Structure 1
C-alpha cells in the first residue's frame, strides 16, 4: 500500500510529498526509500540552492527507483506548482524549452518528489543563457582505470597547472568513478569560446601526463587512460550537480571536497546516508566559489598556440550540427582519406 501523502513545509513553501516508503535504492532496504532520498535533499537543499541559483536544470528521474524506468526530463510540465520558476534554454537544434530554474529549496524538494535522483544544471544563469559562468572539467575513467587514477591526475597534474595559470578550481567527486572540477568564470564568452578554452586546458593536461590522460573523442583511441570530456562545456551538456545523488546501489553523492581531501578520497564514502553529517562537521570547501569571476584569456591564448601547432577544434557530439572549424566527425578506423578534402568535408561520390 502506498503511504499517505504529506505536506512538507520547505522554508515557508508547502510541498506535497507521496510514497515515502517506495524502494528507490533496493540494496539499502529501509535506508534507500524515496523518503530517505527526499530527506537527504532537504538536508542539503540550502547548499544546493546557493550553487544552483537561477540555473536551468534537467532532471534524471527514476519514479519507480533506480531499477525502474529512467526519464531524463528537460522541460517542466505545463501543470506544475505555482512556487516553481522556469527558464527558457535553447538546444543545439535551435529548439527551446522551459527548464526548471532553481530559486528556492522548494524546487529541490519538488524535484525529489518527482523521483529525481540527480539534478543536472547548465553552466549558465538565467536570464543570460548564452554565456557560461562555469568552465567544467570532467576526468572520466575508461576501462582499466578508475577513481584512483582520476584523483591522482586531478591532484598531481591538473591542480599544479591551474596554479601556474592563476586559476582556482573547485573539485568534487562525480558520485561514480570520476572527478569533476569547476572553474567559475566571467560571462564574457559564449559556449564556443568556453569549450575551446576547455580543450586547450585538457590538451595541456594530456601533454603533461600522456600515458594517463587522453582528449580523444573516439573510444578506439583512448586505451586505458582517463578521458577529459571537453564536450561537457558545449551547449546543453550537463553535469551532476554538487550534492546530487547518483544512480548507484549505495546512493553515492557527487560531493565537493578540498584538494587535500580529494588526495585520499573514496567516492563510496559519500552517500545520502553520510553526506549530511559530513558537511555539517566542516567548513564548506566551495564557500568562496561565487567570489570568483575568472578570465579565460590565458586559456584562449593557449588555443591560439595550439592552432599554430596545427591543433584545431575537436569533434562535437553526434547530435550537434556541423560546427565551423570542426574536424570530420567520423571514427578514425572508418575514415578513408580520399573521401575527405583538406577542410574536413566529405567529398560527394
Structure 2
C-alpha cells in the first residue's frame, strides 16, 4: 500500500499524516485505525468508483463507533493540496477521486461515505436507487421484501442489483442510461412503490411518518432525489460488526443473509472472488416505462 515513516505514509506520491494508529474505531470488531486504513486501501478500487466526481458527505466518529459522531459536509480544515473540493449551494464538498484522499479521510475517522446522487456541476441522477427501510431494528423479512421488489422491476424489463445498506435496510440499484431526471425516476418509483404496497399490504408501506408505519417496511422512493444522499456501495458503516454496504446476487438475497455477514474483515476476500456485481449490469433505458406512465 505504501512506504511508512513515523507518523506519515506516502501513497501515490502524496504524504498523509497518520495520528493514533492504535485507536479502536470499532471496539467490538477489534478494528484499529491502522487496520481500518489497510481495509480502506483494499476496497478503494470499488468504493472510489461510486464516489468518483460526486459531492461527498461523511460521518465522523472521532472516538470510535458508539461514541459521539457528526456529519461532515464542508471540507475539513486544514486541507492538504491533493484534496480537491467543489462548491454546491454554498457548501464546499470534498470530491473523493483518489486513494490518498480516502486515506486522509479515514485518518480523520470518517467511517461512512455518502456521495451525492448526481455528478459535480450536474443535475441528473447517475443511477436509480430504491431504499427499503425497516421500521424495526431487526427485520427478518427485509431480504424477502427485496426479492419482491426485484421481481417487480424484472417484470418491467429492468435488471437490478440489491445491496445491503450495511445497517438494517436494503437498497436496490438500477443502472440507467444517463439523461433521465430525478422527477422522472420519482414517478417510476412511486408507481413501483404503490404496486408493491397493494400486492403485499402487510409487508410494505409508503407512509412517510415512522410512527404511522407499524412494523411495515418503508418503500422509500423519495430519498433518491437531488440534494439527498444514500450510503455508497462498499462504504463501511458505524455498526458494531463493522458491516460494509455490499452488493449481492439475487440468489444470495434469497438465502436471507444478515447485513453484518458482510464486513470489513471479509469484504476484501469477497471482492477478490466476486468482483463488483454492480459493474456487471449495463445501463438501461427507462423511456418505455416513462411513456406508459405519462
CA deviation vs aligned residue, 1:77-101 (integer Å, no higher than 9, x gap): 35311111222333xxxxx212111
Instruction: Give the match for residue 26 of structure 2.
Output: 25
Q: Work out which of the residue numbers 141, 153, 177 in structure 1 matches 2:168.
A: 177
Residue among 263, 268, 283 paired with 2:275: 283
Q: What residue number does 1:103 align with?
A: 97
Is the counterpart of residue 267 in structure 1 residue 225 in structure 2? no
Structure 2 runs not aligned, ≥5 long:
none
Residue in 2 that maps onto 1:8: 9
- For residues 251 and 144 of structure 1, the distance between their equivalents in structure 2, rounded to whole angstroms, comes to 17
What's the secondary structure of 2:106's corresponding residue?
helix
- Taking structure 1 as reference, are residues 121 and 144 closer, same or farther at Cα in structure 2, changes over 3 Å only? closer
RMSD of equivalent CA atoms: 2.1
The answer to whether residue 83 in structure 2 is matched with residue 84 in structure 1 is yes
**Quick one: distance in 1 between partners of 2:13 and 2:250?**
36
Post-superposition shift, 1:189?
3.5
Could you tell me how far 1:45 is from its partner in structure 2?
0.5
Task: Tell me, yes or no, if the aligned pair for 1:42 and 1:105 is still in contact at 8 Å.
Answer: yes
Residues 252, 272 of structure 1: 8 Å contact kept:
yes
Give yes or no for contact 1:119–1:241 (8 Å, CA) kept in 2: yes
> Partners of 1:296 and 1:153 in 2: how far apart?
26
Q: Are residues 140 and 126 of structure 1, via their aligned partners in 2, closer, same or farther at CA, if it must alter by over 3 Å?
A: same
CA radius of gyration, larger in: 1
**SS of 2:114 mapped into structure 1:** strand
Residue segments in structure 1 that go unaligned for 5+ positions in a row:
91-95, 305-349
Gap change, CA 1:152 and 1:260, over 3 Å in 2: same
Match of 2:25, SS?
A: coil
Could you tell me how far 1:221 is from its partner in structure 2?
2.8
Partner SS for 1:123? strand
- Which of 278, 294, 301 in structure 1 is aligned with 2:285? 294
Give the Å deviation of 1:296.
5.2
What SS does the corresponding residue of 1:163 show, helix, strand or coil?
Answer: helix
Match of 1:49 in 2: 48
- SS of alignment partner, residue 56 of structure 2: strand
Indicate the structure whose relative CO is greater, using CA pairs within 8 Å and at least 6 residues apart.
Answer: 2
Shift of 1:15: 2.4
**SS of residue paired to 2:274:** coil
Aligned residue for 2:207, secondary structure, equals coil
**Of 129, 141, 149, which aligns to 1:149?**
141
| Superposition TM-score, scaled by structure 1 size | 0.77
CA–CA distance in structure 1, aligned partners of residues 154 and 226 of structure 2: 27
Tell me the residue number matched to 1:319. Answer: none
- Kindly state the Cα deviation for residue 138 of structure 1 after the two structures are TM-superposed: 0.8
Cα shift at 1:116: 0.6
Answering whether residue 229 of structure 2 is matched by residue 238 of structure 1, we say yes
Name the counterpart of 2:133. 140
Q: CA deviation at 1:5?
A: 5.3
Please identify which structure carries the higher strand content: 2
Deviation at 1:143, TM superposition (A): 2.5
**How big is each residue's C-alpha offset from its partner over 1:123-177, in whole Å with a ceiling of 9 and x where there is no partner?**
111231x11122211111112861x31110111x111111111112121111122
Q: What TM-score do you get using the length of structure 2 for normalisation? A: 0.90
Aligned equivalents of 2:252, 2:222: Cα separation in 1: 27
Cα pair distance change 1:263/1:216, threshold 3 Å: same
How far does residue 253 in structure 1 lie from its aligned partner after superposition? 1.0
